[in-house]
């Protein structure tokens, strides 16, 4: 399944096209299904659904719930873990309960809300239920608050306000319970947003990330802890910031990571010696193991 109705449709189409090509090279019969709304019907005889969807509907537990009701196997996290992982506040609450380090946050649900009491700039605004940095806003001064909030609110009725972490940014791939080599992300200009994430050449990537062994383990443990906290299964990508003192801070858990030519999960799998086609094969195998 690829495409879908979300703000990340174009990226999902690219992910799905590459996945389809990889699965066909393995000898699978592959049909592409673009669920623009709820009227979709699976092809007869479907063994497993490879979810190459991103964003609303595809990544928030909605399509997973429907597939469970149909009794069809699918790749990635189940409906409940997907619902939690897609909601940044729920993810952070689960992390805090499990003792996984995450940034201080609050939630705003009024477009005309004033600057939150007890907070100092800079802060980051994120639509509560969006992925791929859609609607991401950095607020460096109180005077920028109203405009930034309005922009973030265009993408969701609730917005996460989070302390801005200054430090190194990395992403951690998890596959079948194992942490893959950590990837450090360094945008060449500005911030790691939707544009820099999906435009080739706009970001430098270092994998394995140049951290010492102790730091690498702390980052990996935090990522695994967050993945377990939301009830994840099979695979995921966890975004982590590293404070100047070496403390990892989990930003979010991505339950259906991108599978495009610039996506992080295929990069880190490749660094572990797992090529793109093999990665897709393992994802399908993990789903097929659930066959009863």
Name the residue ranges covered by the structural domains of the chain.
Answer: 9-75, 84-101+166-282, 105-163
- The catalytic residue positions are 8, 132, 198, 237, 239, 252, 254, 258
Mean pLDDT, contiguous 10-residue spans, the chain (292 residues) = 92 96 97 94 96 93 96 98 96 97 96 95 92 84 96 94 94 97 86 63 89 97 98 97 95 94 91 97 97 82
pLDDT at 175: 98
Closest C-alpha among 277, 272, 97 to residue 172: 272
The third-level CATH classification (topology) of the domain covering 9-75 is: Rossmann fold (3.40.50)
pLDDT at 261: 75
Q: Which CATH class is domain 84-101+166-282?
A: alpha beta
Cβ(12)–Cβ(54) under 8 Å? yes
pLDDT at 8: 87
Q: Which CATH class is domain 105-163?
A: alpha beta
pLDDT at 292: 74
CB burial of 271-287 (b: ≥16 within 10 Å; e: otherwise) equals: beebebbebbbbbbebb
d(CA 11, CA 176): 24
Query: Within a 10 A sphere around the Cβ of 131, how many other Cβ atoms?
Result: 26
pLDDT at 91: 97
């Amino acid at each position: 399944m690829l495409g879908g109705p979300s703000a990340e449709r174009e990226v999902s189409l690219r992910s799905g096209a590459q996945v389809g090509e990889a699965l066909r090279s393995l000898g699978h019969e592959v049909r592409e299904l673009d669920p623009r709304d709820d009227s979709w019907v699976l092809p007869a005889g479907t063994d497993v659904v490879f979810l190459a969807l991103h964003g609303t509907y595809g990544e928030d537990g909605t399509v997973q719930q429907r597939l469970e009701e149909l009794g069809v196997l699918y790749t990635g996290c189940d409906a409940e873990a997907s619902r939690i992982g897609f909601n940044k506040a729920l993810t952070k609450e689960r992390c805090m309960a499990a003792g996984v380090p995450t940034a201080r946050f609050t939630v705003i649900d009024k477009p005309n809300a004033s600057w939150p009491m007890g907070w100092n700039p800079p802060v980051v605004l994120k639509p509560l239920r969006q992925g791929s940095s859609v609607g991401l806003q950095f607020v460096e001064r109180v005077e920028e608050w109203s405009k930034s909030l309005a922009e973030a609110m265009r993408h969701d009725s609730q917005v996460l306000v989070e302390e801005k972490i200054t430090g190194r940014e990395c992403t951690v791939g998890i596959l079948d319970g194992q942490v893959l080599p950590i990837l450090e992300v360094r945008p060449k200009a500005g911030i790691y947003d939707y544009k820099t994430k999906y435009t080739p050449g706009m970001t430098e990537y270092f994998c394995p990330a140049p951290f010492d062994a102790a730091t690498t383990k702390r980052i990996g443990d935090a990522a695994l802890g967050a993945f377990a906290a939301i009830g994840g299964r099979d695979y995921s990508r966890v975004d982590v910031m590293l404070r100047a003192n070496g403390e990892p801070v989990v930003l979010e858990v991505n339950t259906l990571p991108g599978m495009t030519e610039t996506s992080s999960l295929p990069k880190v799998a490749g660094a572990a010696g797992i090529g793109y086609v093999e990665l897709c094969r393992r994802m399908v195998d993990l789903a097929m193991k659930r066959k009863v």
